[in-house]
Amino acid sequence: MKLFTFFNNAYAGEEKLWKVFVFGWLLPLLPLTIASKIAEEIGIKNPSSNVTYGLLVLLLFYNWWLALSVWRCAAHSKTAYKILARVFAFFHFAPLFLVIRGMVDGTF
């Protein structure tokens, strides 16, 4: 239950920025990297695999949540941290548009 509260509070911008950055990005980085590599390997062997697309969609939603949460939680931080967090969120979120566009166009 606390995990869902964290996700909801972070998405609403009510968590501290350092918590969202550490518990939302740093700690899940290794498991998410492993999941993306598994999806990549499955996708190479079987391009039409539902597992690949399912993992990709989960990773996209998680990255979308992370970028928006960091952006919103930055509003309550000091000016320097606010700027750094929003630059991070922008560059973290911008490539997602390219991936989504590639999925829609069929070039991914």
Q: Write down the domain spans for the chain.
A: 2-105
Residue with tokens 């509003």: 75
Q: Which pTM value belongs to this model?
A: 0.76
Question: Tens digit of pLDDT for each residue in 49-107?
Answer: 777 778 778 888 888 888 889 999 999 899 999 999 999 888 877 776 777 777 677 66
For residue 91, give both structure tokens: 């560059």
Query: pLDDT band for position 108 (50/70/90)?
Result: low
- Give the integer Cα–Cα distance in Å for 44 and 46: 6
DSSP code of residue 77: S
The pLDDT of residue 107 is 65
- Give the integer Cα–Cα distance in Å for 68 and 50: 27
For residue 15, give both structure tokens: 């968590």
